[in-house]
Amino acid sequence: MHTSQCASHGYTNLVTQTVTNMSELQISLLGIGIAVIVAVYLYNFWLQRQYQRKYGAAFKQHEDALYHGLTTGDPDTLMEVVETAKVPAAEKTRITAPDEVCNLLDETTDFIVEIYPISLASASVLGPLWQRRFDFGKNVNACGQNAVTAKWEKVIADSHASYSAFRLGLQLANRSGAVNAARLSDFRDLAHEIGSSVQADLTVPDVDEAAIRAVQLDAFCAEVDQMIGINLLPNGGITLGANEVAQVTQSLGMGLQADGAFHLLDARGYTLFSLCNIESTPFQHHTFNHMRVKGLTLLLDVPRVEQPVQRFDDMIVLARRLAQSLGATVVDDLQVILSDVSLAQIREQIIAIECRMLAAGIQPGSAQARRLFA
């Protein structure tokens, strides 16, 4: 401290001596310069404060919800994820590009037959496909190369465009399993029938090889297909009234869907989380007044949501908010209270699933993932 005081005293003497020798004009200029410097400093300080106020909270919202503040029970913190998902119903329309399906068709996920008519053809030539499209047990998609735009677009029965080529795709696998060789053969034969009617050239994959790819795709999907469930049991062994559950979920932006569960949707109208009766009886509007439940299960469909690790963190936030509002406890399937250690272990599993999907070229929550895990 002694050194600092001496240095400060010496600097003051130097400035005083210099100022004494200055003219009045120089003193005025020096004063103006100091004032400008101080003003610039204060303005920069003010900008920094405004920046922190504007963006600091936004960055804070992206912190790891599992390890930052989950146990505080702060309603504002617990509501952050819910507020981001609260979008007016009119805005929650599923945005699907007309040619999205055509962009998704790929030999790793579909058995694709290409048809090249000798002359331009309309959608009517695919009549046999429209009649039998539900016979194959998997999604069937038809795309055509528009004769005017040369772009590939989804073809439906009442399409009015003319096409120079068609691509017919049979999905190889979904949650019901892999398509079998017999149905692949039937699809191939149907494509040949369509091609013959317009004297077209066809490009047809090998059925046996496609059947092998279907089994492989199904096996991969089974390995990463995880549904995370967190149970909410009422404290004191009581039951919950359906009306109470409906009111709480509505306050959190969730709505009852056709499957009898309350869903929280993203801005595109896709499910982030669903909340169902812990038993098999679904929620229905006309039974709210007399229905009571022993518990609830909050579900996260891992491969069908974007950024599943972050969504899991959000799920824990939502589960604890629901438990707080309903007077319940968050437990696992064995009715054991979920600790942060257990949650961290689940989180690591989800990280591994997300990495495997990305390595296979399937983005969790993408249109491709949603159709494979349907």
Q: What is the pLDDT of residues 316-340, one digit of tens each?
A: 999 999 999 999 999 998 999 999 9
CATH code of the domain made up of 225-372: 3.30.1400.10
| Residue 273: pLDDT over 80 | yes
Tens digits of residue pLDDT in 284-317: 999 999 999 999 999 999 999 999 999 999 999 9
- Bridge partners for 121 per DSSP: 163
Burial class (CB in 10 A: 0-12, 13-18, 19+), 36: exposed
Q: Please tell me if the domain spanning 106-222 has the same topology as the one spanning 225-372.
A: yes
Q: Compute CA distances 9 → 12, 16, 18, 38, 242, whole Å.
A: 5, 11, 14, 22, 77
| Residue 101: predicted pLDDT | 87
| Residue 361: pLDDT over 50 | yes
Tens digits of residue pLDDT in 4-61: 333 333 333 333 333 334 456 556 656 666 655 555 445 444 444 443 333 333 323 3
For residues 255-264, give the mean pLDDT.
98
Mean pLDDT: which of 3-12, 49-58, 65-74, 200-209 is highest? Answer: 200-209
Q: 106-222 domain in CATH 3.30.1400.10? A: yes
> The whole model's pTM is what?
0.73
Domain ranges of the chain: 106-222, 225-372
- In order, the DSSP letters of 156-211 are -TT----EEEEEEEEE-EETTEEPPHHHHHHHHHHHHHHHHHTT-EEE---HHHHH
Rounded to the nearest integer, the mean pLDDT of the chain is: 83
